[in-house]
Amino acid sequence: MLVTRTVEELSEALASMELSLGNDGALVPTMGALHEGHGALMRVARQSNAWVAATIFVNPLQFNRPDDLARYPRREGEDFLLLQEHGVDLVFAPSPEVVFPLGWVAPELDLDGLDLLWEGAFRPGHFKGVATVVNRLLDLIPCANLYMGQKDYQQCLVVERLLCLRKAMLVQLGPALVKVPTVRDGDGLALSSRNLLLAPDQLERAKGIARTWSWMKAHGQGLQPEALVEGALERLTAEGLRNEYLVFVRDGSLEPWKRGDGAPRALYAGWLDEVRLIDNESLAIA
Amino acid sequence: MLVTRTVEELSEALASMELSLGNDGALVPTMGALHEGHGALMRVARQSNAWVAATIFVNPLQFNRPDDLARYPRREGEDFLLLQEHGVDLVFAPSPEVVFPLGWVAPELDLDGLDLLWEGAFRPGHFKGVATVVNRLLDLIPCANLYMGQKDYQQCLVVERLLCLRKAMLVQLGPALVKVPTVRDGDGLALSSRNLLLAPDQLERAKGIARTWSWMKAHGQGLQPEALVEGALERLTAEGLRNEYLVFVRDGSLEPWKRGDGAPRALYAGWLDEVRLIDNESLAIA
C-alpha cells in the first residue's frame, strides 16, 4: 500500500500506479476512525475496480462546532492496518494545510438547497464543507467510482449533486457515486465513528434508535404516519435521546413523503448526552 | 498484531498472549516516526524472543522545550504498518493521560548523576523523563529483554542504571538491555526521527557529522586528542552546524577518556538551524 501525505507524494504515487486515472479506479473518502461500515465500502470497491484509493482526512470545513472537531476520534494506526487488510492500493492522509493551502479559494458550488434542509439546518455550513472537500479530493484523485455509506443519506444526495455540477462544468465525466448500505451491529445500531465516543451505557441507549425502527416497522400498517412519528419520538425520548428531527422523505430525495410515493425513508437526528447521532431507514408503511 | 491504547486493553492483550511475562519477550519502546534504526531493533528482538511488544509514545516528560514536543514528528499510520511488517505481536500506543494518569506519582530514581552530564546538562530534566517513562512502561509490560539504539548512547547508560535500580528494589529481575548499533544511511548519517524535520539541503549539511567522523578516524593516529577535537569542531562549524559539545569518554561509560582506556567514544551534539542532532562514534586513536 502506497502511503502519501502531500500533493507531491500523491501525484508521484498515482503516476507510479500506471493506471488510467479517471477511467477506472475507486475513491473511498473517509475521516478515519474506520469501522466495518468503511470496511464494506472498501470490500465493494475492491470487487469492481482496478485500483482503490482511500483518504483519511478530518475535514475542518464540515464541522460547525469547534468542540466537535477537536474530539472527533482519531486512530490513524488502526486505520492504516485496516486499509492494508482490505487491499487498498493507495492512502492519502494529508494535513489540513495540504488540502486547503494558503491562497487556495473554494469554488462556489450551487447545491440546489440540498445543503439547507434537515442536517443542513441543524449543522449550518456542514454540507458546503462536505461538497468542498469531496470536490477538492476528486481534483486530486481522478477516479471512476466514488464510495459512500447510506448512513449519511443526505450527504449522498449532496455529493450526487456535486457530481452533476462537475459533469456540467466538464471537469470530468465521472465518477459515479456508489451508495453502500448502512452496516449495523447485532442489535441494529448503525456503525459510526462517533460511537467510539460513547461509554458502554450510552451505547446501550443509542440502540434505542434501532429499537424504534423496529417498533415503527411493526406499527407501520396500523398507525397513521403522523401518529407513527409521534409515537417514535416518544419512544426515542424514553430511550434517553434528545431528538432533533424525525421526518419521512421520498426515498432517494429530500422531498416530503406523501402517500403513493412508495416506502418512505425516515431520517433521524438526536443527541445522546453530548454526542450527536444520525440514522435513516426505509419503512414499508400504509 | 494486537493494538492497545489503554492499560485495560494492554492487560487483556498480554493475558491473551498466554506467555510467561517477564521471563521471556521483548519490549521495544519508541516515540514513533519509525525508521530503519527502529527496524533494526525489531529485527534483533524478533530473532531471539518468543514475543515482541513495541510502544509508541511521545513522552512529554523528556522534552525540556515545549516547541520541541509540539513539532516532534508524528506518523502513526506508517508506524503501525512497519510494526506489523516486522512481526511485532503487540503495540501499545497510549495517550499521555493513560501513561501518567491523574494522581500517579513518579517514583524518585537516583540516576547516579548519569542524567546530569552532556545531554543532561544541555537538556535539563531530559533523562529523568526518560527513566520515568521506561520505568513505567516496564511496570506495564514485564519482559526479559529491552531494546534500544546505541545512537542514544547516554540514554542507554541511564536505562542500564534504571534496570540496576529495579533489580535492587526487587521490582523484577529483568530485563536486560540490548543495545543495537546505530543504523546509518549510505553517507553515514545516523538515522533519527528528527531527520524528518530537515529539508533536503539541511539533510546534506547534517551529513557533515559523518564526514567529520571520517576525518577524525583518518587523523586519529597523527594528532593529539585535543587537536583532533579542535579540528573536528572547526569542520563541523564549517559544515553549518552550531556545536554544543564534542567529547571523548571511556567507551561504555561517561568517564572522561584518557590514554590507556582503549578506543574512546566520541559524543557529539549540535544544532542544524532549529533542529538539534546527536551522534556518537567509537574512534581508534593513538
The whole-number pLDDT of residue B21 equals 60
| Active-site entry in A38, A86, A126, A219 | A38
* Structure confidence at residue A57 as a pLDDT band (50, 70, 90): very high
Nearest to A93 among B3, B5, B77 (CB): B77
Q: How confident is the model at residue A172 (pLDDT cuts 50, 70, 90)?
A: low
Name the residue among B3, B56, B78 with its Cβ closest to that of A78.
B3
A140's grid cell: 486530486
The reported pLDDT for the residue numbered A286 is: 60
Strand, helix or coil at B249? Answer: strand
Domains, chain B, in order of start with CATH, read 2-180 (3.40.50.620), 193-279 (3.30.1300.10)
* Cβ within 8 Å, pair A77-B84: no
pLDDT for the residue A55: 98
H helices then E strands: how many in chain B? 11, 9
For chain B, list residues with pLDDT below 70.
18-23, 171-172, 286
Q: Output the pLDDT for position B24.
A: 83
Backbone angles phi, psi at A210, to 5 degrees: -65, -40
Q: Give how far Cα B90 sits from Cα of A38, B16, B54, B84, B135, Å.
A: 24, 11, 6, 9, 19
Q: Which amino acid is located at A112 in the chain?
A: D
pLDDT at B170: 75
**Are B79 and A77 an interchain contact pair (Cβ–Cβ within 8 Å)?**
yes
Peptide bond preceding B175 in cis form (omega within 30 of 0): yes
What are residue A243's DSSP bridge partners? A270
Q: State the Cα angle at A43 between A41 and A49, rounded to 5°.
A: 95
- E strand spans, chain B: 2-4, 26-30, 52-56, 90-92, 145-149, 176-180, 242-250, 264-272, 275-282
Helical H runs in B179-224?
200-206, 208-219
Q: Are B137 and B29 in contact (CB under 8 A)?
A: yes
pLDDT for A24 equals: 83
Based on the residue annotation, tell me whether A38 is a catalytic residue of this protein. yes
**A21 or B200, greater pLDDT:** B200
Which ipTM score applies to this complex?
0.85
Average pLDDT over chain B, rounded to an integer = 95
What are B26's strand-pairing partners? B52, B145
d(CA B53, CA B151) in angstroms, rounded, equals 21
- Residues B188 and B183: their CA atoms lie apart, in Å, by 9
Q: Coil, strand, or helix at residue B119?
A: helix
| Amino acid letter, B228 | L
Q: Is B39 left (phi over 0), alpha (psi -120 to 50) or beta?
A: alpha
Treating both helix axes as pointing N-terminal to C-terminal, what angle do B208-219 and B225-238 enclose, rounded to 10 degrees? 150
> Chain B: residue nearest A33 by CA?
B77
3-state DSSP assignment of residue B259? coil
- Average of pLDDT values for A91-118? 96
Query: What's at A162, amino acid-wise?
Result: L
Let me know how long chain A is: 286
**A3 → closest Cβ in B3, B5, B77:** B77
> What pLDDT is recorded for position A284?
87
Degrees (nearest 5) of the Cα angle B22, B24, B30?
80
Å between A37 CA and nearest CA of chain B: 20
Q: In this complex, which of A5, A81, A93 lies closest to B80 when CB atoms are compared? A: A81
Beta bridge partners of A269: A245, A278
Q: How far is CA B257 from CA B108, B210, B226, B244, B252, in A?
A: 30, 21, 12, 19, 11
Percent of chain A whose pLDDT exceeds 70: 97
Interface residues of B toward A, Cβ cutoff 8 Å, are 1, 3, 5, 56, 75-81, 84, 91, 93
**Cα–Cα distance measured from residue A206 to residue A225, given in angstroms and rounded to the nearest whole number:** 23
Q: Which residue of B has its CA nearest to A80?
A: B77
- pLDDT category at A20 given cuts 50, 70, 90 is low
**Sequence-ordered strand ranges (E) for B107-226:** 145-149, 176-180
Q: Closest-CA residue in chain B for A81?
A: B81
Q: Tell me the chain A residues in contact with residue B78 when contact means C-beta distances shorter than 8 Å.
A: 3, 80
Tell me, what's the pLDDT at B149?
98
The pLDDT value given to residue A285: 79
Average pLDDT over residues A241-255: 97
pLDDT at B192: 98
DSSP secondary structure, chain A, as one string: -EEE-SHHHHHHHHHHTT--BTTB-EEEEE-S---HHHHHHHHHHHHT-S-EEEEE---GGG-S-HHHHHHS---HHHHHHHHHHTT-SEEE---HHHHS-TT--PPP---TTTTTSTHHHHSTTHHHHHHHHHHHHHHHS--SEEEEETTSHHHHHHHHHHHHHHHHTTS-S--EEEEEPPPB-TT-PBP-GGGGG--HHHHHHHTHHHHHHHHHHHHTTTS-HHHHHHHHHHHHHHTT-EEEEEEEEETTS-SBP-TTS-SEEEEEEEEETTEEEEEEEE----
Over residues B4-28, the pLDDT tens digits come to 999 999 999 998 886 656 568 999 9
